[in-house]
Amino acid sequence: MSGVSLEGIVKAYGAVQVVHGVDLEVQEKEFVVLVGPSGCGKSTTLRMIAGLEEISGGELTIDGRVMNRVAPKDRDVAMVFQNYALYPHLNVAENIAFGLRIRKEPKDKIESQIKEVAGILGLTEYLERRPADLSGGQRQRVAMGRAIVRNPKVFLFDEPLSNLDAKLRTQMRAEIKRLHKRLGVTSIYVTHDQVEAMTLADRIVVMNDGRIEQIGSPMDLFLNPANTFVAAFLGAPPMNLVEATMTSDTVAEFNGQSISLPKLDALKNSTGRAVTLGIRPEFVEVADPSVKSQVKIDVDLIETLGSEALVHATLGEKPFVIRTETIGKLEVLDNVSGFTIDPKLVRVFDAETGVALPGQVHEQ
């Protein structure tokens, strides 16, 4: 087990650079998730760690050893792919053991390893079946078993759950989390699904356009996004972003309405300054129509999801979403006219750069 270090990692295809100087330290036994939209460079970065893509610049080390010119088979990493990559003519046991047989491991050791891994992943009764006779979730377990049996220094996961249905994804997320807790192997996981990132990661790395936007724990990124990109990407639904103008050090105005803001040194003498307000759907309180000090919204749709509801509205001709409980609030939800929010929970970003203003730290 070991850590992984990326220093100034660059990937270029000819004159086109797609990963721009990525710096990242993954500690031993840590589970780190790279997340971002399609084309942000997360899978390319993972493939450079695996040795499947050549590194154009910078330095990659695993367990303190520079890996830039080391062949994939000699890096002691195991990769789980999106498409499972199982051999259709081999049964489950043979698929799991394939790498061990290539390395000419003793037969008794191979059989012992197959038995142990099959027990961990709940595959014992399927060892004689071929991939065509398995469900998607079972095939993904076999792919994970093939990686585990190698006892690698680092696990690499490239969107392994994207081919599964919603229920199976939820089940497999829990299995992967339990597996990491049991094995304690350094793991780097790539996904475009921010829910996967939030539920699996010790730390999340948010990438955009080949660069790292922010690194931190799931709750730190949720509560304290460094910029509007991270704010709008993490969360389901994501943070609402409202363009506003400061009318005093602690009040902002938009569409003829005003809202109180936290007292920040960065907002002193800022009257007339353009800002972007970040409002999490979960932090908003649906206001009773009789409440005067509320921000008015135009409600388009209310999605009742059992114990909670999503209020879809418009604010200044832009979408605005509120997540609220339904218990004891059904009468209020029948006639939603606006919302209130604690000023301390409003995130303030610079309108020009999109960077969060200093002095805002929400505790977990």
Q: Which residue has the tokens 């760690």?
A: 49
CA–CA gap between residue 286 and residue 295 (Å, rounded): 10
Residue 47's CB: how many other CB atoms inside 10 A?
18
CA–CA gap between residue 181 and residue 110 (Å, rounded): 24
Q: Where in the chain is the domain with CATH 2.40.50.140?
A: 238-350
DSSP assignment, residue 201? -
Asked if the bond preceding 37 is cis, omega within 30° of 0, the reply is no
Tokens of 161: 């759950």
Tokens of 55: 């590194």
With vertex at residue 288, the alpha carbon angle to CA 347 and CA 330, rounded to the nearest 5 degrees, is 100
- Residue 186: which of 214, 158, 152 has the closest Cα? 152
CA–CA gap between residue 21 and residue 17 (Å, rounded): 10
CA–CA gap between residue 289 and residue 152 (Å, rounded): 60
Superfamily, domain 4-229: P-loop containing nucleotide triphosphate hydrolases (3.40.50.300)
* Per-residue pLDDT at 162: 85
* Per-residue pLDDT at 330: 67
Residues in the chain: 364
Q: Which residue has the tokens 């709750």?
A: 219
C-alpha to C-alpha distances, 282 to 69, 148, 242, 296, 320, nearest whole angstrom: 48, 39, 16, 17, 12
* Per-residue pLDDT at 326: 84
* Per-residue pLDDT at 292: 79
- Residue 2: which of 65, 69, 47, 49 has the closest Cα? 65
Q: Where in the chain is the domain with CATH 3.40.50.300?
A: 4-229
Superfamily, domain 238-350: Nucleic acid-binding proteins (2.40.50.140)
Tokens of 355: 């960077």
Could you please report the per-residue DSSP string of 126-173? GTT--GGGS-HHHHHHHHHHHHHTT--SEEEEESTTTTS-HHHHHHHH
- Supply the pTM of this predicted model: 0.91
* Per-residue pLDDT at 364: 66
> Consecutive 10-residue runs of the chain (364 residues): their mean pLDDT?
90 96 97 95 96 97 95 92 88 92 89 90 92 90 89 92 84 88 93 92 97 97 96 93 96 94 93 96 87 89 89 92 83 82 95 94 74
CA–CA gap between residue 320 and residue 90 (Å, rounded): 52
* Per-residue pLDDT at 168: 82
